[in-house]
Amino acid sequence: MAEDPAEPLAPMLRKLQLWRRFDAQEQAALLALPREIVDLKAAAYVVREGDLPTHSCLLISGLAFRQKLTRTGARTILAVHMSGDVVDLQNSLLEVADHSVQALTKAQVAFIPKEAIVDLALRFPNIGLAMWYDTLVDSSIAREWMLNVTRREGHSRIAHIVCEFGVRLESLSLGLRTSYEFPMTQEQLADATGLHPVHVNRTLKELERTGLITYTRRSITVTNWSELVVAGDFRETYLHLNQPKTSPAPELQAPVADAE
Amino acid sequence: MAEDPAEPLAPMLRKLQLWRRFDAQEQAALLALPREIVDLKAAAYVVREGDLPTHSCLLISGLAFRQKLTRTGARTILAVHMSGDVVDLQNSLLEVADHSVQALTKAQVAFIPKEAIVDLALRFPNIGLAMWYDTLVDSSIAREWMLNVTRREGHSRIAHIVCEFGVRLESLSLGLRTSYEFPMTQEQLADATGLHPVHVNRTLKELERTGLITYTRRSITVTNWSELVVAGDFRETYLHLNQPKTSPAPELQAPVADAE
DNA sequence: CGTAAAATTGACTGACTTCAAATTCGGTGG
DNA sequence: CCACCGAATTTGAAGTCAGTCAATTTTACG
């Protein structure tokens, strides 16, 4: 949790090095990205749908989520982001933001000019690849959510998202998969699972009654992990947490010999 | 439709140049990618969930779709791809395929070794950026689909997808937005909208009865575009078709002066 | 302590699913 | 050209999961 305040971009470096290894020069360039550190209150907007974003946003601490609305105001929550995620590499590289990003809890973020991101990707293609990979993993999670909300029943949807948050938070050392802080309201949980808040409430109660979880207003304890995994049809491959790191840009070491 | 057979990768070049302009060297490098051209029958698999993919797949002609299954066999269709799409830039760069890709119609594809893609991105960062952008647009469409299946009613979901295919096919000169070939079965349409095939059938009938579309087994004519747009809550921003092309890699022209 | 947001509960409704059977279509072989 | 077959579509009837509406209780927090 206690990041070196002198290196606010360290969480981004750590996250991207899940996908590619960086040499000293690449690490320095990344940490030297121009940025503005901002403290956000819960529910503060990072980007609004329709904006022409000028910055990307790194989440240093706290949680954030992406959302999209129908014309009638119904909401879907598309993703929940955690420390180290460059929230909205998805959004801000394209011209117009097609969805909004909002802080879920109070959060510390770094705004990075989008040209600086593009420039970094052009000067250090290895970092560009890592950022690309990172957005691909986001997409993979989005696909699993799509499956979740279209083809699983209510109690499975809830069970699945409870499993996912546990594994993700544990991978960041922000909790245990069987016990973690859970700051979403039931209404937000409903928008993340395509259900109605009332039904989410009843489903949580049912998961408690059947002994799978204990739920208090802002925390979750899983009391029967293996049954919860079955109930949620949870298979964690889609999180790509075991992606083997590619050693430092081997392609750059032998680019001349192009045997074909 | 009639692409120069000497340049089978031309559709990919055309598509990527929607996002970035390439100079002659970049264009040549892209067209020279190693590849194997394959003709696929309808329903043939390109990648299966769980595979360790070694190739990316460019769709030269025909349609393809991505899908994912629950443990009990229920299916969701995540995306439909058209000519020029590098189906599964999404999938094949990561270690394990988290979903399957299948031909929707008979199709011609080019398999490109994934190292060749990574190598191209490292040698020509401008092309790397274009491919990244391309996957971001895919993600944007995926987000709209998520909104569609979670927060719109059945008839809206169908109306929305009918609008989307019209606009996308028209942008590729493969049809008119108000009249196009539509090779999906009602069962596939159900899996793309999170509905049951029986309900899809009834909904299509209702859209016909109310005069919005005419539907025959394998083609759609929109008889009232503006009402269909309203019914489907369709706003085409998310397709990012008006993304202004960035002129040839300006960042590369002045990388020295880094005024901050 | 007071207040607003969030959670909870009950009664009722309905959009969509399920099951099952009939019909149509497209291609194939005689 | 026509009969045939499996897949896709269509239709009907009945059931249910989740939504809706509305009121009450709990909680966080100043």
Alpha helices by DSSP H, A152-245: 154-171, 186-193, 197-209, 225-231
- Exposure pattern of B99-115 as b/e (b: 16+ CB <10 Å)? bbbbbbbebbbbbbbbe
Residue B116 CA to residue A76 CA, distance in Å, equals 38
Nucleotide C24: nearest residue by CA–C1'?
B217
Per-residue pLDDT tens over the stretch A207-249: 999 999 999 988 999 999 999 999 999 999 999 887 665 544 4
Angle made by CA atoms A97, A98, A101, in degrees to the nearest 5: 70
User: What are the beta bridge partners of residue A110?
Assistant: A37, A58
Q: What is the pLDDT of residues A71-105, one digit of tens each?
A: 999 999 999 999 999 987 777 778 889 999 999 99
Residue B26 near residue B123, CB atoms below 8 Å: no
Q: How far apart are CA B239 and CA B56, in angstroms?
A: 23
CA–CA gap between residue A91 and residue B136 (Å, rounded): 8
Query: Who contacts B238 (Cβ-Cβ below 8 Å, separation ≥6)?
Result: A98, B140, B141, B143, B144
Burial of A162 by CB count in 10 Å (0-12 exposed, 13-18 middle, 19+ buried)? buried
pLDDT tens digits for chain B (260 residues)? 445 667 899 999 999 998 899 999 999 999 999 999 999 999 999 999 989 999 999 999 999 999 999 999 999 999 999 999 998 777 777 888 999 999 999 999 999 999 999 899 989 999 998 998 888 899 999 999 999 999 999 999 999 999 999 999 999 999 999 999 999 999 999 999 999 999 999 999 999 999 999 999 889 999 999 999 999 999 999 998 876 665 444 444 433 333 33
Largest CA distance in chain B: 64
Note whether B90 and A240 are within 8 A (CB).
Answer: no
Q: Does B154 touch chain A (CB under 8 A)?
A: no
End-to-end Cα distance, chain A: 48
**Chain A nearest CA to B90, separation (Å):** 6
Q: Which residues of A36-71 are buried (b: 16+ CB within 10 A; e: fewer)?
A: eeeebeeeeebbebebebebbbbbbbbbbbbbbbee
> Which residues of chain A between 167 and 196 are close to nucleic strand D, CB under 7 A?
194-196
CB contact under 8 A, B151 and A76: yes
Q: What is the pLDDT of residue A188?
A: 97
d(CA A37, CA A10): 13
CB count in 10 Å sphere of residue B244: 7
Q: How do residues B124-144 score in pLDDT, each as one tens digit?
A: 999 998 998 888 899 999 999
State which residues between 123 and 162 of chain B bring their CB within 7 Å of strand C. Answer: 153-155
Walking along chain A (260 residues) 10 residues at a time, the average pLDDT comes out as 73 91 96 96 92 92 96 96 87 84 95 93 92 88 97 97 96 94 95 97 96 93 97 94 59 39
